[in-house]
Amino acid sequence: MTFRRPHPTVALAGLLSLGMLLAGCAAAPDGLDFPPDPSGRTIDDRVDPDADCPSEAVAPAEDRPVIALEFSLAENLRIVTGTETVTFTPDLPTDELVFRLIPNSPVSAPFGNELTVTDVTGKEVDDFGYESADAYPTTPGGLLVVRLTEEVEAGNSVEVSLDFELELGDGTFDRYGTADGLSWWASGFPLLSWEPGVGWSRDPLVTVLGETSTSQAADTTISVEAPEDLEVLMTGAQDRPEPAGDGRRVWTSSETAARDVSVAVGRFDTEGAAAGDTEITVGVLPDAATDAAELAEDAASLIEDFEEFFGPFPYDTLTIPVLPNFGGGIEYPSSILLASPSRVILVHEIAHMWFYGMIGNSQFRDPWLDEAFASYAEGLVGEPARDGTDLEIPGDIGDSMSDFPDADEYFDVVYGKGGAVLTAARDAAGADEFDRALRCYINAQAWQIAVPDDVAAALSELPAAVKILDEAGAFG
Ligand SMILES: [Zn+2]
């Protein structure tokens, strides 16, 4: 996520940074070798092919969750009814399943968003109930706990099906909302909250604007039934919509490794572009100031730029529904809710496809692992790097979401200082060395849930970089 309150200079800043991006493309930074075919999905061959540094991103786990989501959007565009079927294979024994109900957070619920689970079925299901986890008091709770009739052993599977209803509130800078002829919901279903090797994540839903989830990359299929005059842009490779009767259509998609799902439904006009094998689709609303084709080309160009540093784009598709300007953007697997014309926000959210989408983390416990890296990445592709003044900001970049008293301090320390610290670490270690070590981290932690020590391990032969990160509180 990134959020900047809209102000009159945003459009100008966007134009200026476009110029900087083009200038940045003209020369390879710091002698980094660009492969002859920038769309070729080959990993930089300088990466050492050993266990700590696989030559390409490790594949998603065979025993990852399998999740099927069915959403139906009501004619009033404010109620989503849904069913979620989960096949879960824990790596530790457990007698329950815990799901995070993010619409019920104190950030989202005051605007009229609410998620209620109406039924849970499955032959191993005993009963289900809510835990607060500091949810907004008018909601049923922040966590849904499904108790099983008996413990599931590690490596065995359990299947449950949940029925739910999601109410969408008024549009604001959030992952849920409605506006004229438009609805969007992301994290709009009970989110399975298991951390392999650790267990269930029961972290509180904080009042600070930002993500707090821990979720595995799941083999995910999605269907969305909606009024036939509306278009759907969501996570996953989408099929053509099929008629569903009564003036409605059903849209389907699939994503082989998605930690979460975003859906936007509205009168989108869409345009596409390609970055190698990655298909980009941008949707804009009627009367939008954004040119969808230009934005799609821009996103394609950024993907190709980032692939030089981070390796192949993690997904086959990227959809970008452009929402009204609420001042920010929110990343989801293979989809971005873009609610700002600011180019740096597009850059930041695309970087999250690697740092969050592919390399997961506890967004509550270690928010820097996605936000500091996405902020750092801005400076690699022509946006202003987070600089030395940010380094002087007091506070530990490795703090958890509950350590920050407000969003301003969270953004300053994790995004501003965090991005600057990574830039300084790269400068200290040498750009080539740092980029190579970072690629080891990316490849080794792909589709898993990384921890700060994984960063330290990847940088272990670059003590100057580790020292800078350590002094900024990255490692606790
Ligand atoms: Zn972010």
* CATH code: domain of residue 182: 2.60.40.1730
Give distance in angstroms: CA of 331 to centre of ligand 1. Answer: 7
Give distance in angstroms: CA of 254 to centre of ligand 1. Answer: 24
- Alpha carbons 381 and 378: distance in angstroms, whole number: 6
3-state class (DSSP) for residue 370: helix
Give distance in angstroms: CA of 355 to centre of ligand 1. Answer: 9
- Alpha carbons 55 and 122: distance in angstroms, whole number: 41
Give distance in angstroms: CA of 2 to centre of ligand 1. Answer: 5
Which among 251, 257, 255 has a CA at the least distance from the CA of 221? 255
Same-domain status, 465 and 425: yes
3-state class (DSSP) for residue 24: helix
- Which of 9-18, 384-393, 404-413 is the most confident on average? 404-413
Give distance in angstroms: CA of 149 to centre of ligand 1. Answer: 40
Over residues 78-82, the mean pLDDT reads 98
Same-domain status, 323 and 247: no
Give distance in angstroms: CA of 415 to centre of ligand 1. Answer: 8
Same-domain status, 293 and 427: no
Number of domains in the chain: 3
Same-domain status, 369 and 399: yes
Give distance in angstroms: CA of 394 to centre of ligand 1. Answer: 20
Give distance in angstroms: CA of 129 to centre of ligand 1. Answer: 32
Give distance in angstroms: CA of 349 to centre of ligand 1. Answer: 6
pLDDT value at 17 more than 80: no
| Residue 78 lies in domain | 66-259
Which one of 204, 225, 259 terminates a domain? Answer: 259
pLDDT value at 110 more than 60: yes
The overall average pLDDT reported for the chain is 91
At 233, list the tokens: 């842009």
- Residue 36 dihedral angles phi and psi, to the nearest 5°: -60, -35
Give distance in angstroms: CA of 364 to centre of ligand 1. Answer: 13
Give distance in angstroms: CA of 375 to centre of ligand 1. Answer: 7
Over residues 188-194, the mean pLDDT reads 98
pLDDT value at 58 more than 90: yes
Same-domain status, 373 and 307: no
Give distance in angstroms: CA of 373 to centre of ligand 1. Answer: 9
Same-domain status, 250 and 291: no
Give distance in angstroms: CA of 443 to centre of ligand 1. Answer: 21
Same-domain status, 81 and 230: yes
Over residues 163-169, the mean pLDDT reads 98
Give distance in angstroms: CA of 64 to centre of ligand 1. Answer: 25
Which one of 259, 284, 303 terminates a domain? Answer: 259
Give distance in angstroms: CA of 148 to centre of ligand 1. Answer: 36
Same-domain status, 86 and 168: yes
pLDDT value at 11 more than 90: no
Residue 7 forms part of a structural domain: no
Residue 101 forms part of a structural domain: yes
Over residues 430-440, the mean pLDDT reads 98
Q: Return the pLDDT at 4.
A: 73
Give distance in angstroms: CA of 82 to centre of ligand 1. Answer: 28
Q: What is the CA radius of gyration of the chain?
A: 21
Give distance in angstroms: CA of 96 to centre of ligand 1. Answer: 31
Residue 392 forms part of a structural domain: yes
Give distance in angstroms: CA of 207 to centre of ligand 1. Answer: 17
Q: Return the pLDDT at 404.
A: 96
Q: How confident is the model at residue 122 (pLDDT cuts 50, 70, 90)?
A: very high
Which one of 303, 324, 358 terminates a domain? Answer: 358
Q: How confident is the model at residue 2 (pLDDT cuts 50, 70, 90)?
A: confident
Give distance in angstroms: CA of 300 to centre of ligand 1. Answer: 19
Q: Return the pLDDT at 5.
A: 54
Over residues 224-253, the mean pLDDT reads 98
Residue 8 forms part of a structural domain: no
CATH number of residue 462's parent domain: 1.10.390.10
Same-domain status, 111 and 242: yes
Percent of the chain with pLDDT over 90: 87
What Cα–Cα distance (Å) separates residue 88 from each residue in 98, 296, 324, 414? 11, 36, 37, 32
Residue 47 forms part of a structural domain: no
List alpha helices for 273-332, DSSP H: 292-310
Could you report the per-residue pLDDT of 271-316, keeping only the tens digit for each?
A: 999 999 999 999 999 989 999 999 999 999 999 999 999 999 999 9
Residue 34 forms part of a structural domain: no
Same-domain status, 232 and 352: no
Residue 464 forms part of a structural domain: yes
Could you report the per-residue pLDDT of 130-153, keeping only the tens digit for each?
A: 999 999 999 999 999 999 999 999
Q: Return the pLDDT at 45.
A: 40
Over residues 409-429, the mean pLDDT reads 97
Q: Return the pLDDT at 51.
A: 60
Same-domain status, 370 and 341: no
Helix H or strand E segment including 430: none
Give distance in angstroms: CA of 298 to centre of ligand 1. Answer: 19
Give the global pTM. Answer: 0.90
Residue 93 forms part of a structural domain: yes
Could you report the per-residue pLDDT of 315-348, keeping only the tens digit for each?
A: 999 999 999 999 999 999 999 999 999 999 999 9
Give distance in angstroms: CA of 416 to centre of ligand 1. Answer: 11
Q: Return the pLDDT at 18.
A: 26
Q: Tell me which of 22-31, 93-102, 200-209, 370-379 is least confident.
A: 22-31
Partners of 222 in beta bridges: 69, 253
Percent of the chain with pLDDT over 70: 90
Over residues 153-182, the mean pLDDT reads 97
Give distance in angstroms: CA of 352 to centre of ligand 1. Answer: 7
Give distance in angstroms: CA of 159 to centre of ligand 1. Answer: 33
Give distance in angstroms: CA of 413 to centre of ligand 1. Answer: 13
Give distance in angstroms: CA of 155 to centre of ligand 1. Answer: 34
Same-domain status, 198 and 302: no
